[in-house]
Structure formats: structure tokens, C-alpha cells
Amino acid sequence: MKDFADQSHRQLVLSAADELEAMVAGLTPFNLDDYEASRRRQREELRELKHALETRRDAPAKISEGITGVFFSMLGFRASSTSGLPSAIRNWIVQVRQKAGARGTIQ
């Protein structure tokens, strides 16, 4: 989708962007001092995040991972990243906010 269907769709998408931003911000930062434990924790958190997003009742996400990166699609918008799911979600957030004329960057 290149644009919003209507004002209610715009609000739904922007609300989802705020929610996604909080979810990604809540991921535990990677700790190089304890690489193995940090990697296990990261894999588990990403597995839980993916499950939560794909099983949403109101707007389930479609997430596909391949050798060219991760593709994230939700509410008619799609983004990708070669740096993993959190980056694909951040790209999605930036895209929908820019298209909506809202905040274009995330923290």
C-alpha cells in the first residue's frame, strides 16, 4: 500500500507504530561481555516478538526471513532490513510516520 485508506486507517497505523516502537525499545540490549547468554536471550526475545506480532487479533503482521533480509508487513505497509527484525520494524515505523506527516524518526 502506498497511502492510507482513510483517516481511521491512518490513526490505526500511527497507533500501531507507537506500539511497535515501544516493543522494539523494550528488547534487551546485546551484551558483548556475556556473548552466549546475550545471544540466547536475544533469540528468545525475537522469537516472542515475532509470535506476538504474527498472532495479533487486530492487525497481524506478516514476517518473512530469508538470505536477503527480513520483510515486515502490517496494515498494508511493508519494510525490510538486512539487519534483522528490529531494524525492519524501525524502517516500517519511519515509513508510515513519514507518509502520515507525523514524526519521521524514532529514538
Q: Is residue 106 included in any domain, yes or no?
A: no
Q: Is residue 38 included in any domain, yes or no?
A: yes
Q: Cell numbers of 86, please?
A: 528490529
Confidence of residue 107 (pLDDT cuts 50, 70, 90): very low
Q: Is residue 53 included in any domain, yes or no?
A: yes
User: What pLDDT digit, counting tens, does each position of 50-102 carry?
Assistant: 999 999 998 999 999 999 999 999 999 999 999 999 999 999 999 999 998 86
Q: Is residue 36 included in any domain, yes or no?
A: yes
Q: Is residue 2 included in any domain, yes or no?
A: no
Q: Cell numbers of 95, please?
A: 515509513
Q: Say how many domains are in the chain.
A: 1
The domain of 42 spans 7-100
Q: Is residue 52 included in any domain, yes or no?
A: yes
Q: Is the pTM for the entire model greater than 0.95?
A: no
- Give the distance, in angstroms, between the CA of residue 73 and the centroid of all CA atoms in the same chain: 9
Q: Is residue 105 included in any domain, yes or no?
A: no
Q: Cell numbers of 15, please?
A: 497507533
Q: Specify the 3-state DSSP secondary structure of 66.
A: strand
